Amino acid sequence: MEEVTVELRCMYWQNGEYLIESHKKVTEHLGLQVQYDLTTIPHGQWMTDVLENSTADIVGFLDSDCVPLNKGIVDYAVVYATATKSFIGTAQASNHIAPRAHIFAAPCFFFIYRDTWVKMGKPSFLENSRSDVAEEVSYVAEDFMVPYKALYPTNFEREPVEGVWRLGNFGYYGIGTVFANSVYHLFQGRYKQNADLFKLRCDEIVDGTFSTNGMFNSIEVYSGKICNYS
């Protein structure tokens, strides 16, 4: 594989500082060098600006409430983006935007070959009438017939305030979701009970005790209940 330069970035707003301590524990434990940016601009604008100004071949984005479970998935993302000259991210569907079934590479764990982004016309990561954050990049890649990879959920957990969401015709994901058995993303980290859950999961990753035991299987859930195949 060709040698590439890689830049890892994570943004947070001032009201999300409580997540960063846990996030750093994991990335330091895995030996990842991540630049943390305290900012006041929208998530999608920050991602666009980072790519615009980066000199790296590969830029990897991690949300402040999303951590890899192992270093191998980061290495894999870099290898994939380099070999395909494309991008890779966790699978997500915008259930609040029509058609509500478009599965795209989400920004929470997202690695992209920068030159390909440039060749596609530098599409913005900002939300618009058909796209959530980063979704427009997947739409543009589809228009350019650039194949990209989405890591699908394997397990998820829910909590009382929020429910679960449908991922197109694949299955479901929830507040705390494990993708490809290798990435953990806590959705809705602005709620304290979710932040507490994120801290717990990060501590487990560092301690080597993280497990999906007790979580829902993403493809064996229907209307919030475990399916019984008999």
Strands 66-68, 183-186: pairing kind = antiparallel
- Cβ burial 160-193 (10 Å sphere, 16+ → b, else e): eeeebbebbebbbbbbbbbbbebbbbbbebeeee
pLDDT at 162: 63
Average pLDDT over residues 19-30: 97
Number of domains, the chain? 1
Q: What value does the mean pLDDT of the chain take?
A: 92
Three-class SS of residue 27?
A: helix
Work out the pLDDT band at 188, boundaries 50, 70, 90: confident
Which H or E run includes 16? none
CA dist list (Å): 13 to 46, 176, 213 = 11, 20, 32
**Residue 110 domain boundaries:** 6-226
Q: How confident is the model at residue 160 (pLDDT cuts 50, 70, 90)?
A: low
Question: pLDDT higher for 169 or 15?
Answer: 169
Please report whether residue 220 resides in a domain.
yes
1 lies in a domain? no
* Residue 175: CATH number of its domain: 3.90.550
pTM above 0.85, yes or no: yes
